[in-house]
Amino acid sequence: MASIGSKLKVLLILGSIRDGRQGIKVAKFVRKKLEERNFEVTFYDLLAMNFPMVKQPVHFYGPKRTGAPQNLLDCEKQIRDVDAFVIVSAEYNNSIPASLKNFLDTFPDGSYGFKPSGLVCYSMGPYGGYCSSTSLRTIMGVLASPCVSRVLAIPFVQDAIDEDGKPINEKLNSEVDPMLQQLEWMANATKNHRLKDGLPTSSFMFGS
């Protein structure tokens, strides 16, 4: 199999852009854990990227993307190039940040197509932002990037991870493993099948 012995590429996306956000600490922690499992990580911090409010998704520019902004074209290329996604999301009003939804909706399902996603959610309260993961399951499913079954939910995140992304509660190091194990297995399986048989392009709403 082509993926055996080679690094899997993963896009790690941090969705929150609010002042005082806790997500950057979570993203640092998750990135380290991904790299420990030999993933090649590309990190998108939507705040640091100053990702714009998009009025026209890239697929609205047509198959040749004529006139599409270069930053969106660069992002689409990287999305197509990876083998999996990990999304770090806060919970806003039982859902996800508008900044994250805006980003995800900018690219067609064919870009995400048949690559698994893993979810990490957090909150400053006792429930770990879990409602955001239920929203993301629907969104990523529609984008043909099904979520693995295990989710890392981090309650009281302000007391769980320090500013450098190091767990204050060592239990986090083991609690993240089930999601990452599933993600690695699924990413290898789907990568091998894509290389062998390609993608069923007729199943996409917006094409590949």
Q: What mean pLDDT is reported for the chain?
A: 93
pLDDT (tens digit per residue) in 131-156: 999 999 999 999 999 999 999 999 99
pTM: 0.94
Asked if the structure places residue 167 within a domain, the reply is yes
**Are 121 and 128 in contact, with CB atoms under 8 Å apart?**
yes
Asked if the structure places residue 205 within a domain, the reply is no
pLDDT at 191: 96
Provide the CA 40 distance to its chain's centre, in angstroms: 14
CATH (domain of 106): 3.40.50.360
Q: How far apart are CA 159 and CA 168, in angstroms?
A: 7
E-state strands within 141-207: 147-154
**Are 48 and 147 in contact, with CB atoms under 8 Å apart?**
no
Q: If you average pLDDT over residues 159-183, what whole number do you get?
A: 95
pLDDT category at 207 given cuts 50, 70, 90 is low
Q: How far apart are CA 137 and CA 149, in angstroms?
A: 9
| Counted domains in the chain | 1
Domain of residue 53, residue span: 9-200
Asked if the structure places residue 87 within a domain, the reply is yes
Maximal CA-CA distance, the chain? 50
